[in-house]
Amino acid sequence: MKKILLFLSFLVVLTAFKNDKPAYYFYNSKGKKVKYKDVLKKALKADVVFFGESHNDPIAHWMEYEFTKDFYKSKRENLILGAEMFERDNQLILDEYLTGKISEKSFNSEARLWNNYKTDYKPLVEFAKDKHLKFIATNIPRRYASIVYKKGFEGLDDLFPESKSYIAPLPIDYDPDVPCYKNMLNMGGQLPAHITQNFPKAQAIKDATMAYSIAGYAEKGKLFFHYNGSYHSDNYEGIIWYLNKYKPGLKIVTITTVEQSDIKSLDSTNFDKADFILVVPEDMTRTY
pLDDT in tens, 195-224: 789 999 999 999 999 999 999 999 999 999
**pTM to 2 decimal places:** 0.92
**Residue 20 — pLDDT band, cuts 50, 70, 90?**
confident
Element (H or E) spanning 259, and its range?
strand 252-260
**Sequence-separated (6 or more) residues with CB below 8 Å from residue 202:** 145, 146, 148, 149
pLDDT higher than 70, residue 21: yes
CATH of domain 24-281: 3.40.50.11550
pLDDT of amino acid 6: 47
What residue segments make up the domains of the chain, in order of their start? 24-281
The 3-state DSSP class for residue 215 equals helix
pLDDT in tens, 238-287: 999 999 999 999 999 999 999 999 999 999 999 999 999 999 999 999 99
Residues linked to residue 52 through DSSP beta bridges, in sequence order: 228, 256
pLDDT in tens, 122-153: 999 999 999 999 999 999 999 999 999 999 99
